[in-house]
Amino acid sequence: MTDEVESRAMMSRGRAHVLAGALARLLVGEVGRATTADSGAVRQRQRARAVRETLEGLGPFYVKIGQILSTRPDFVSQATIDELGALHDRVGAAPFTVFEPVLEAELGRGWRRWIRDIDVEHPIGSASLAQVYRVRLADGRSAALKVQRPGIASIVHADMAVLRRAGRLLATARPQFDEVVDIAAVLEVIFEAMAGELDFGVEARNMELGARMAEGFDLLTVPEVLLATPRILVQGMAPGSSIRDIGKASLGADQRLAVAHDLLAYMYHCYFVGRTFHADPHPGNVFVHSDGHASLIDWGMIGRVDRSISLKLALTLSNMAQNDGEGAAAAWVEMGKATLRADIEGFTSDVVSLVPRVAAASLDELNFGITFTTLLRYATRRGIRTHPMIPILGKSFANMEGSIRCLAPELSAAQVLRTELTGILMDLTCEMLSENYLARGALELMLASDSSFTQARGVLRDMAKRETRFTTDSQGAKKAGSGLVKYALGALGGLGLSRWWLRHRDDTKHR
């Protein structure tokens, strides 16, 4: 065993002991609450507060876990959801001397050639993962400098190892629960989403992708990446202040609604078209300027979905916006997997009763994000496994909805979706007509046609040898006939599309 492996194992054991101690304190507190004369509701609130404080004390990784749990009513009680919604990852500012060795290790001893001035006395942000300073660069530009706390990556990796083991134990102890939740897959999705929190080079790439996706939105920007290493990130300053602090009076009603619409529309396009999205757009990460422009910062945590899941999610939300409960239920089931004990009819009934309350409500009247995650509780209760990315999507949507509520609570998330749906469909259509997509379609059709030719040759060979048997089952005959028709259409389609592709390629070469 190498020194590095031994070090990681020791760190993992150490974090396991820390976690065990935290759980023991929670248990002692629970025993103490059981002996009081307080009502059940009071004890529930006290328990929820103790869980939140414990997660905050364990550090950034558990704060993220708690934030995701706050969107899972199928996991935790409503009192706990309300308390976890107040989770924050803020710690007291550490002296600059703690971070200076990181700067030197990442940029070299001459790092001050890059940074002319740095306000070390007043950090503009302090969390358990990093600290942020206002700086002036050598070329005179103002910027934000983000420096990772020394040793924090090892702690988070150790926490991940502990949770993997705990997840395996829970899956073994509660197999029916794991059947509908897939604990291991959910944890891996969370770990992957947090990659940018531990490597600022990854976060920089996330920001650049986010900026490209924001190009079609007049009121939305992502700060420019100026310099990035695994533990250092220098970016342009986001103008304005947190959407929580900007104040409705700072903007006119039309400005408020316009910037709120752009923020929500941007997230819809990220979910359904770009399929890469900001997973942590809480109010502290959304800045708004008095001129009506907004910026999205802190791209350390992002989510990614494949085309199939994004289309099914779009269909689910579109059906909810159009007050189609049965359609929303069917699309949700398609996103996941019905277990052997699934009650599809019951789930459909649940969704049909929920959707009418969502379709016409404003953010001030209804929490659309939490309503969306309520579907998780229905699905789990009815034995339907949900795709592991859905909790991250739910967290992202609930965070952005909460941010927008600070500025324009009268905005309807469903109405914004209805407004943007045509543009989203146009983007998806253009994607389907792109050269890469058509080329892939041609390959799939050619594979289908090749399979049909192979089967046809086999049938003819068997007929020549008089080995073919025909059944009088009319249903089987219909299925066989349908299969042959599909193969024939696949063959013709593959040949036709291949011919078109070759002609298109030749025309392109001669232009």
Neighbours of 436 (CB within 10 A): 8
Assess contact for 55 and 65: CB atoms under 8 A. Answer: yes
Alpha-carbon distance 202 to 188, whole Å? 17
Predicted confidence (pLDDT) at residue 271 exceeds the cutoff of 80: yes
Q: What is the pLDDT of residue 342?
A: 92
Query: Looking at the DSSP assignment, which residues form a beta bridge with residue 276?
Result: 304
Residue 108, Ramachandran bin (φ over 0: left; ψ between -120 and 50: alpha; else beta): left
Least confident range from 83-92, 436-445, 454-463, 481-490: namely 481-490
Assess contact for 447 and 439: CB atoms under 8 A. Answer: no
**Most confident listed range (14-23, 31-40, 69-78):** 14-23
Neighbours of 57 (CB within 10 A): 12
Half-sphere exposure of 403 (CA within 13 A, CB side): 30
Per-chain mean pLDDT for the chain: 81
Q: What is the pLDDT of residue 484?
A: 46
Q: What is the pLDDT of residue 466?
A: 58
CA-closest candidate to residue 485, choices 496, 473, 493: 493
The answer to whether the Cα torsion of 203, 205, 209, 214 is positive or negative is positive
User: Average pLDDT of 243-252?
Assistant: 82
456 against 172, higher pLDDT:
172
Predicted confidence (pLDDT) at residue 491 exceeds the cutoff of 60: no
Tokens coding 308: 């199939």
User: Average pLDDT of 81-86?
Assistant: 74
Quote the DSSP letter at residue 240: S
Q: Which amino acid is at 460?
A: L
Least confident range from 45-59, 179-193, 460-474: namely 460-474
Predicted confidence (pLDDT) at residue 51 exceeds the cutoff of 50: yes
Alpha-carbon distance 299 to 212, whole Å? 14
Alpha-carbon distance 454 to 38, whole Å? 75
CA distances from 148 to 128, 299, 450 (A): 9, 14, 55
User: Residue 289 — pLDDT band, cuts 50, 70, 90?
Assistant: very high
Q: Which amino acid is at 442?
A: A
User: Residue 431 — pLDDT band, cuts 50, 70, 90?
Assistant: confident
pTM: 0.77
Lookup result for tokens 């001893």: 109
Assess contact for 331 and 316: CB atoms under 8 A. Answer: yes
Tokens coding 460: 């003819």
CA distances from 450 to 103, 438, 440, 444 (A): 59, 18, 15, 10
Assess contact for 201 and 230: CB atoms under 8 A. Answer: yes
Alpha-carbon distance 383 to 378, whole Å? 9
Q: What is the pLDDT of residue 477?
A: 45
Backbone angles phi, psi at 61, to 5 degrees: -65, -45
Alpha-carbon distance 372 to 72, whole Å? 10
Alpha-carbon distance 319 to 322, whole Å? 5
Predicted confidence (pLDDT) at residue 60 exceeds the cutoff of 70: yes
Q: What is the pLDDT of residue 452?
A: 63
CA distances from 490 to 372, 431, 456, 457, 485 (A): 39, 22, 13, 16, 8
Assess contact for 156 and 61: CB atoms under 8 A. Answer: yes
Query: Looking at the DSSP assignment, which residues form a beta bridge with residue 288?
Result: 241, 294
